[in-house]
Amino acid sequence: EPEVTQTPSHQVTQMGQEVILRCVPISNHLYFYWYRQILGQKVEFLVSFYNNEISEKSEIFDDQFSVERPDGSNFTLKIRSTKLEDSAMYFCASSRAGTAEAFFGQGTRLTVV
Amino acid sequence: QQQVKQSPQSLIVQKGGIPIINCAYENTAFDYFPWYQQFPGKGPALLIAIRPDVSEKKEGRFTISFNKSAKQFSLHIMDSQPGDSATYFCAAMRGTSYGKLTFGQGTILTVHP
């Protein structure tokens, strides 16, 4: 069964460093998303991406964050200068259409020290 | 107004019991209501979803009941099994906000053998 894959599974970084989280969405999906989940809290929407541009973003997704689809298969989330409060599980998701069900990856646990 | 409120925070049932998880929303523009199941260390996985034109949807042992006038929806798990022990999230989405799911706080379900 096709699945969304994310790498790495766990990333530890120093405060102020840049990190790039990577995702390979399901191959025939056109819409891509990033969500995050701070430990013990709910899953929060960060950004949606379609046709090589951001469709919607939340207030969490400030200038420190950016997304890119550098080739036909990868979808990345970059955090330019990490803060302690960026520590969370980051989930990539994809869907065939904007109103179709979203499939989530297994997540990347980001720890900022 | 964008929030989805979920209760209870945690729920313990015996095998064979019928746990019920409730969600309420304010934004009447929401028109897609999925439930996700999440096991520790994994991403959320879609269980079942409903749109407001029906009051109930059943898939296997999982049933969503939807009350449009009360702006509430709930998940029932029939004949619950220990393998159903997980965190369950309700979510909601506006048709015009592609992929922007607003999640509830989550319910930790424990099914004892």
Question: What is the per-residue pLDDT across B89-103, written as a single tens digit (0 to 9) for each?
Answer: 999 998 766 678 999
pLDDT value, residue A40: 84
Mean pLDDT score of chain B, rounded to an integer? 93
Alpha-carbon distance A62 to A28, whole Å?
Answer: 29
Residue A46 exposed, middle or buried by CB count within 10 Å (0-12, 13-18, 19+):
buried
Query: How close A78 gets to chain B, by Cα (Å)?
Result: 19
| 8 Å CB contact between A34 and A90 | yes
- Please indicate whether residue A2 or residue B45 has the higher confidence score (pLDDT): B45
| 8 Å CB contact between B104 and A41 | no
Which residue in chain B has the smallest CA separation from A43? B103
Which residue in chain B has the smallest CA separation from A99? B98
Q: Which helix (H) or strand (E) holds A91?
A: strand A88-95
Contacts of B69 (CB under 8 A, 6+ apart): none
CB spacing of B98 vs A99 below 8 angstroms: yes
In this predicted structure, the answer to whether residue A48 has a pLDDT above a threshold of 80 is yes
Q: Which of A33, A55, A101 sits opposite B34 (nearest CB)?
A: A101
CB spacing of A95 vs B99 below 8 angstroms: yes
Mean pLDDT score of chain A, rounded to an integer? 93
Probe site for chain B from A6, A38, A104, A109 (most B CB atoms < 10 A) = A104
B5-32 per-position pLDDT tens digit? 999 999 999 999 999 999 999 999 899 9
Chain A interface residues facing chain B, Cβ-Cβ under 8 Å?
4, 31, 33, 35, 41-45, 48, 50, 55-56, 58, 91, 93, 95, 97-99, 101-107
In this predicted structure, the answer to whether residue B50 has a pLDDT above a threshold of 70 is yes
Pairing of strands A75-79, B10-14: unpaired
pLDDT value, residue A2: 79
Provide the pLDDT confidence category of residue A99 given band limits of 50, 70 and 90.
low
pLDDT value, residue A44: 94
B66-78 per-position pLDDT tens digit? 999 999 999 999 9
- Choose among B9, B11, B29, B42: nearest CA to B102: B29
A49-65 per-position pLDDT tens digit? 998 999 999 999 999 99
CB spacing of A104 vs B43 below 8 angstroms: yes
CB spacing of A104 vs B45 below 8 angstroms: yes
